[in-house]
Amino acid sequence: MYAAYFRLKEKPFSMLPNPEFIYWSDMHAKAYTMLEYGILNNAGFTVITGEIGCGKTTLVHHLLSQIGKEVNTGLLADSQVNTDELIRWILMAFNQDFEQKTEAAAFRDFRDYVQKEYANGRRTVLIVDEAQNLSVATLEKLRTLSNINVGKDNMLQIVMTGQPQLRTLLKRPELAQFVQRIGSEFHMTPLSQEEVRNYIVHRVHAAGCPVSLFSSKACNRIAAASGGIPRVINLLCDTALVYGFARGSKYISEEIAEAVIADRKAQGMLASEAEETRPAPENDGRDLLLIGSQGK
């Protein structure tokens, strides 16, 4: 709708994860480093947490586009799965037959699958998205599933991404043994005002426009209203471009940004996003490992 008008090759603020549009803020770079470190250094469990829309899924998609054929990946996107059905859902994530199997048979088949992949020079990586929805019982089942690993190498690695509630869940005493197996973890925090400005400029340029379409004041207003959450930034910026196109403006001014924010708040859409945004914790999540060590 507005792409040609603003000399854009594509929409710069799509709500769908796109690794080609990643803005490498200091926080995103650190999170990706810990994610990559967990995979390359054979960590049993890797945990990445952050608010809704902070970029966890985008980083995972980027990782999947970069890792080689020596790593076989499966994605478990429905983390509200029943504990008794977990193994069958995991088989499905790896495109394996899962129907009409008992839990014991499903476990045996998955173990054999992982061992066969390893014998062929491939490690198996299970990615569990929205892991804050998992029950304690399901997390414990994932821990016992990791017992497939024998010797010095992990044939099976598990990456979990989730909202901050996952950090709270992992602090429960009954999960002390689980936490001890976390080899790499990171908590993603919102972008600063300066990072929001750089994020907006980066995505506009990545979409093919040679100039910055958003004024500095517009960027600052969007930074304040979004709380530094990339998904909310995308929502506001995309709408601002629609408003700018409708008004015949060549750039997004502070006035246009304020109009978008006011309309979103009036519709209750921005308010609902803001309510999901909580202040970032003072630490970077290392307390998970400390709690695990205390349980030894």
What is the reported pLDDT for 284?
A: 46
Backbone phi, then psi, for 16, in 5-degree steps?
-85, 140
Q: Which amino acid is at 112?
A: D
Nearest to 182 by CA among 202, 205, 166, 204: 166
Structure tokens at 291: 């709690």
Instruction: State the fold for domain 26-190.
Output: Rossmann fold (3.40.50)
What span, in angstroms and rounded, lies between the C-alpha atoms of 8 and 29? 26
Residue with tokens 């709270």: 168
pLDDT of res. 99? 82
User: Residue-wise pLDDT tens for the chain (296 aa)?
Assistant: 899 999 999 999 998 888 789 999 999 999 999 999 998 888 999 999 999 999 998 898 888 888 878 889 999 987 778 888 899 999 999 999 988 788 899 999 999 999 999 999 999 999 999 999 999 999 999 999 988 887 667 899 999 999 999 999 999 999 999 999 999 999 999 999 999 999 999 999 999 998 989 999 999 999 999 999 999 999 999 999 999 999 999 999 999 999 999 999 998 877 544 444 443 333 444 444 433 333 33
CATH architecture of 191-275: Orthogonal Bundle (1.10)
- Report how far residue 30's alpha carbon sits from residue 15's, in angstroms, rounded to the nearest whole number: 23
Q: How many CB atoms lie within 10 A of CB 220?
A: 17
What is the per-residue pLDDT for 276?
41
Q: Residue 40: its pLDDT value, please?
A: 87
Strand 123-128's sheet: what is its strand order?
71-76, 123-128, 156-162, 45-50, 182-188
Domain segments of the chain: what residues? 26-190, 191-275
